[in-house]
Amino acid sequence: MGHTLIALHQIIQALETIHAGAQVTPEQRKHAETYCEEARERPDAAVYGHHLAHQAQNFPDTVRHFGLSLIEHTVRYRWDEAEYTDAHRDEIQQLVIELAMHGLRDPTLLPEPMFIKEKVSQLVTEVAERRWPKQWPDFHSQLSAMYHASPVTQEISLIVLRDLADDLCVYEGPIAMLRKASLSNALMCVLLSAEGFQNAYPKGIQYYGQPLPLALGLPVDHGYRGWLVTWATTLREHCHSLRTIDPSAAAPSTAVLLTRHFEALRANIDMAPLAGLREMQWPTLILDYLELANYPQLRTQATELWLVFSRRHFADYLDRHAFVQPWLHPEVLSRWAQVCQRYQAAGSASNIDDDSPDARALYRLAQGTAEIGIHHICHKSNQTGVPDGFAFYVRQVLFPMSQSCNALVVAQVLPFWVAAYKHELIGPAVAQLVPAPTMLGALLDAVLQCSRVLQAYHADPNRDPLPEFESVAAVRNYFITSRLRALEAMQSVARLASETALPWLYSQMSQVLTTNAAQNQDSLALVHLETALLVCETVASIPTAFSTDQQPIASPALVTVQAQLCKLVLQLGPLDPTTIMRQLHTLGSFGPALARSEAQLFAFLDKVFGLMLQATNPHSTDHATLSASTGSHRETPWSQVQRRCATTLARLAQVIPDTFLQCYAQVHDAANRVVQSEQVPTTTKAYIYDFLLTVCFDSTAPTPDKLRVASSIVDPFVKQWQEFLPAVATMDAFHDFVGITYLDRAFTAPYHDSEYQVVRVRRAQLLLCLHVFLVMARRTKESALATIWASYLPAVFPMLLAFIRQLHALWAPDSLVSVDARFQTLVQISDYERQIIVNPHHAPTFLAPSTQPTSVASPIANIRILRHWLATCRDVAYQLLGLLTAVGHTHELPQMATQFIQAVFGDVAAVANHHWKPLIQWVVLPATLYCPPRYYTTFLPTFLVPLFQHMHHKLENEWAALVQRGMCLTTPEEQEQFNTGAIDSEDVSDEILAEKLLRDATKAWAEYVTRILSQQSVSTASATTYLLSHGEIASILISELSFLLRVKDSACSRLAIQTATRMVPSWAAVGAHEASAPLLSQLQEPVAHDLLLALFSTMGDAYHADNLDALVGLVALIYTAFRPHTTLPQQALAKLPKVTPEAIYDFEQRLVAAKSQKAKKAVCKVWTQGIVGVAKSQWFQRRVAQSSATTTACHGSTGPASPFTQHSVAGGGPMVTAASSTEHGTHAVSLFDDDPDFSLGDIMP
């Protein structure tokens, strides 16, 4: 005892030294820290920790916390060491439970800090996960005693049961996973009452030959109440008492305890079977607290609990039905409707900016009310029909919410209408309960409300985001998605009740469209007009015939309404440019209607081509103007209209190509007038040719006819392309062709812009040739029509390679030494490119220069134009080259592989980082994955081996240099700023920009490597299999994956971890098949040895601390997957510092003893965490951070999660992007542009 007291005294002195500040020297503090670290490793550290942490000793909280860390270290990292016998573990167990029951302060005398209570609770949980129930049969009775002893011990018991459930269901801690069966069964037994257990399992459950409760040493008497009933009873008792007392008289500790009860319930709901949930009578419990006045914090807890209940999953629909039936009871629903009405009427509930507790509760009420219907009534497994109480639920609860003045409330209910109308049984029932015009009116109001919110943020971009939204982008995403849902629901209503829905929709839309509200500058009228266009687009998208699982509607009625609406949309005008683009987008949905009416088709073509020529009017004051700083034409609203016209034509060509082909002569003549205009940008002309080629290739015409039409379009460009061949023969000729020679003379001689016009015209012609070839390559990709390239490739491909080679040569440092120094800007990043890199979501959009003389007639301005032209040509040429390498005829060209490598990588040292991203994405990736299989052996090794060697050397050296001089973007948040528009390009230094470019190039390389390894599609599987079976390439690929794991870029490291985690099981599984043995042999050493060592190296880097859990999991996955086939993982462990052969042998024995694969992974995780030092100091901090960040769906949050962070749909669909992507970047073409990639298919039954 004397030695113990001396050691305790020395520990206290060391802690005092550490916290003494400037009163001690650094050497003294370091010595004290070393002493404290050594104290953790003492066999009796837990005894010291108990003495230091116990309240009876009255030590400062810092000392008590250190004492708890001594116990934690022993339990987490030394529990299984040989020097600890079962008697020692029993002693530690008693120390922990005694500390929990008697070691904390009496809150009436001095409140206990939360971090002390959390730490003590975590210690109890850690020991329970290792010993309960078999080796700690008294745990449950001790926990019950704590629950009834005092408020502080009751809180500890609640936290312990919450954390046990979280570790089993949410965090999947390795210890909990090792004993998941025993812990889950034990927790389930104590959650249920004896009667509830009998109801849930009438035949009982046998566990190792004994009834489950008896086998686990748990209570089996018939009077046992279970934790769920106990907690529910306590909550009800407190709720009743709170109704009778003044809120100011309620003890603060009461709210804390009730909050802990709600947290414990939320965490354990998924663990409890249906019988346990029913016996606690959860609907009335939640209602009691929702009706509780003057306690907003508790009402918030009740709504969070409500969300968890509404999402409770049951595999069998009969269980879903039994679960929801008590909530659908008329008395419960009546109270529920009254609660919802009260919250909607409270304060400024109609104001979406309201951040009051009642408003937050209302949003969660609406969200849960919709979700319980989605998950438990509209689920696809429901084949029994409509449950009792459904009519009241729809009419008195949900539909009034859909009529709310608050757009957020309405948006929360929309997913239910989408799911309900899609369900084959629920949809007709809803259609009978709510008349189609009434429902359509509510949905139309929902679309208008969402549009008004979006219009408000469009008018004032600096407006603050709504409460509970992280950013303005999140607000836009949410309301764009909600509007899409409302439109989807309207379409479903029109399908189910066409006789009443379609006439109503036509009458409403015709009123708006015939009024021509665009002449009214009132923003509200404009919102109504654009909303009408959205609805017309929705009606146009309804197919005129359905499969047997959809209720058919009369095709003539739909055809008539679609034709009438199409006519109204065509006649709409005059409009402002923004509304014209919305009109064109809507017309693009009327493809079938245009195909049925020749008059409307020609009216559409006249309108589109007329708009394109109107937009090119040189006298228009809104014509595209030249940007002196970028040398490119800044896009204006009318230039956007021009491009939207072309893209609408291309879009319709994919829908009704045969219709256009029937009048091809007239279409071609009209299109020719547009492409002959010198004021039409090259990119817009490319869309016109895209339209013409799509009509050709997508039609049902015979193949010879298609090839004949295509040849008539492409042949003139091929002929012109061959005329450019001398211009790329030498560097001097290329300088002459692009205008460098002329502009260099212009610095010393008079400059005449009219003379330079010849250069501009031929550059525009070359770029248009590239665009046309790219369009044809896209339209013939992976098609029998690709044979058309057989006659064109000998003329197109060599010239393309020569052009790219000259581009790369131009970037070389010595390529411009003979001309004026100001030409060096050609190889530097332009201001426009800089804005795109720094702020891609807010960068201005520019058009490719036209051939017209510029208003900035000077050599400097034309150098800027040339730089922009070179960047555009680079992008188009790269994309074309990548597509052509997938054509089999390309590889038949003489010396194709040699010429390809020389052109693309002949001057590879001159390729800067801002060029590598497009080069990898558009050339290297398709050339690798889409190479024809018969050319694998002749092309891929020759191409890939030097490429990988160069990239590895380049990236390794540049990252080493970056780390040596110091990184600027050291956190994921700092890196993410470039993707959110949070910074301006003017605020970014050259050093930060250089680092950003390196990270972008590395990320592009990471995406390429992981794409090869991950076998994302069937079409690329054969290429991946070949590469992994090629010894040298397979080794290089895994080596690159190891490098990407270690690189100090969070996105690249995470991508490498995710890819390895996904693919390691399949790489190891090939060993089971004899035919795949060569593939396994190629992967064994690089994965099972080299990649494993790279993972341990990465875990030792503090930069990757946030990825530590994923890294540990990947180590466990590789070891357990490859260890049965080879000893290489064991050899890798032997190379780790401070890992002895004895430790490896002990680890292997425990691995063998584990029965299941999951148990083996848990053993690996525990062992790996024990040897990685960073885990010891950061584990608790990470656990707390994870707990606070976990959403309600994970049951671990201590505070309310925003109901708007993800959409309340089955499966939690992704957020849509607010902005519209174009070939130039991202810009807001229209406030009402929809996300074309968003689909509700994944959330529907």
**422-436, 653-667, 725-739, 815-829: lowest mean pLDDT where?**
815-829
Q: Is 519 domain-assigned?
A: yes
Question: In this predicted structure, what is the pLDDT of residue 1007?
Answer: 94
Kindly report, residue by residue over 81-95, the tens digit of the pLDDT: 777 888 889 999 999
Greatest mean pLDDT among 176-180, 581-585, 862-866, 969-973: 581-585
Kindly report, residue by residue over 942-959, the tens digit of the pLDDT: 999 999 999 999 999 999
* Residue 622: pLDDT over 60: no
Instruction: Find how far residue 1185's CA is from the centre of its chain.
Output: 21
Cα atoms found within 13 Å of the Cα of residue 19, Cβ hemisphere only: 11
For residue 1223, give the nearest of 848, 679, 760 by alpha carbon: 848
Give the pLDDT band (50/70/90) at residue 1240: very low
Q: Residue 551: which H helix or E strand, with range? A: none
Task: Indicate the residue type of 877.
Answer: A
* Residue 423: pLDDT over 50: yes
Q: Is 169 domain-assigned?
A: yes
Question: In this predicted structure, what is the pLDDT of residue 986?
Answer: 58
d(CA 7, CA 454): 67
Q: Is 938 domain-assigned?
A: yes
* Residue 633: pLDDT over 80: no
Average pLDDT along the chain: 81
Give the pLDDT band (50/70/90) at residue 838: low
Tokens of 155: 């809180």
273: number of Cβ within 10 Å: 17
Tokens of 870: 């070179």
Q: Is the peptide bond before 1245 cis (omega within 30 degrees of 0)?
A: no
Q: What are phi and psi of 906, to 5 degrees?
A: -65, -40
For residue 915, give the nearest of 925, 923, 927, 926 by alpha carbon: 923
* Residue 1139: pLDDT over 60: yes
DSSP count for the chain of H helices, then E strands: 60, 7
Among 1129, 1164, 1188, give the residue marking a domain's end. 1129
Q: Is 136 domain-assigned?
A: no
Question: In this predicted structure, what is the pLDDT of residue 1223?
Answer: 33
Percent over 70 (pLDDT), the chain: 84
Question: In this predicted structure, what is the pLDDT of residue 317?
Answer: 83
Question: In this predicted structure, what is the pLDDT of residue 1070?
Answer: 60
Greatest mean pLDDT among 108-112, 269-273, 1215-1219: 269-273
Kindly report, residue by residue over 6-18, the tens digit of the pLDDT: 777 888 888 888 8
* Helix extents (H) in 103-173: 114-131, 139-149, 151-169
* Residue 847: pLDDT over 60: no
Task: Indicate the residue type of 1080.
Answer: L
**160-164, 653-657, 976-980, 1218-1222: lowest mean pLDDT where?**
1218-1222
d(CA 569, CA 590): 10
* Residue 600: pLDDT over 50: yes
* Residue 1049: pLDDT over 50: yes
Q: Is 23 domain-assigned?
A: no
- The residues, any chain, with a CB within 8 Å of residue 421's CB and separated by 6 or more, are 427, 430, 431, 489, 492, 493, 495, 496
Question: In this predicted structure, what is the pLDDT of residue 937?
Answer: 92
* Residue 232: pLDDT over 90: yes
Among 1129, 1162, 1193, give the residue marking a domain's end. 1129
Q: Which residue has the higher pLDDT, 1019 or 57?
A: 57
Kindly report, residue by residue over 338-368, the tens digit of the pLDDT: 988 888 877 555 677 777 888 888 889 999 9
**Helix/strand/coil percentages in the chain, nearest 5:** 70, 0, 25
**pTM recorded for the entire structure:** 0.78
Average pLDDT over residues 633-652: 82
Question: In this predicted structure, what is the pLDDT of residue 970?
Answer: 58
Question: In this predicted structure, what is the pLDDT of residue 544?
Answer: 64
Give the Å distances, CA to CA, from 1033 to 260, 1027, 1036. 56, 6, 5
* Residue 726: pLDDT over 90: yes
Q: Is 989 domain-assigned?
A: yes
d(CA 535, CA 1218): 19
Percent over 90 (pLDDT), the chain: 32
Domain tally for the chain? Answer: 3
Among 280, 303, 325, give the residue marking a domain's end. 280
In contact, 635 and 661? CB cutoff 8 Å = no
d(CA 248, CA 1044): 58
Q: What is the CA radius of gyration of the chain?
A: 35
In contact, 826 and 870? CB cutoff 8 Å = yes
- Going by their DSSP bridges, the two strands 210-211 and 1220-1222 should be labelled as unpaired
- The residues, any chain, with a CB within 8 Å of residue 241's CB and separated by 6 or more, are none
Question: In this predicted structure, what is the pLDDT of residue 1126?
Answer: 87
**109-113, 1160-1164, 1212-1216: lowest mean pLDDT where?**
1212-1216
Q: What are phi and psi of 210, to 5 degrees?
A: -130, 155
Q: Is 865 helix (H, G, I), strand (E, B) or coil?
A: helix
Question: In this predicted structure, what is the pLDDT of residue 158?
Answer: 95
Average pLDDT over residues 556-576: 87
Kindly report, residue by residue over 3-51, the tens digit of the pLDDT: 567 777 888 888 888 877 778 888 888 888 888 888 888 888 898 899 8
Kindly report, residue by residue over 375-391, the tens digit of the pLDDT: 989 888 887 888 889 99
Tokens of 471: 């950013």
End-to-end CA distance of the chain: give it in Å, rounded.
Answer: 69
* Residue 896: pLDDT over 50: yes
Average pLDDT over residues 754-774: 89
Kindly report, residue by residue over 927-936, the tens digit of the pLDDT: 999 888 999 9
Farthest CA pair distance, the chain:
106
Q: Is 645 domain-assigned?
A: no
Give the pLDDT band (50/70/90) at residue 1183: very low
Give the pLDDT band (50/70/90) at residue 146: very high
Kindly report, residue by residue over 253-306, the tens digit of the pLDDT: 788 899 999 999 999 998 888 888 998 899 999 999 998 878 888 888 999 999
In contact, 729 and 828? CB cutoff 8 Å = no
* Residue 699: pLDDT over 70: yes
* Residue 624: pLDDT over 50: no
- Going by their DSSP bridges, the two strands 1225-1227 and 1220-1222 should be labelled as antiparallel
Which residues are paired to 847 by β-bridges?
633
Question: In this predicted structure, what is the pLDDT of residue 679?
Answer: 75
In contact, 217 and 133? CB cutoff 8 Å = yes
Q: Which residue has the higher pLDDT, 783 or 820?
A: 820
Range of the domain at 568: 497-545+556-586
Q: Is 1013 domain-assigned?
A: yes
* Residue 1192: pLDDT over 70: no
Question: In this predicted structure, what is the pLDDT of residue 175?
Answer: 81
Give the pLDDT band (50/70/90) at residue 585: very high
Kindly report, residue by residue over 1003-1031, the tens digit of the pLDDT: 999 999 999 988 767 778 888 888 988 88
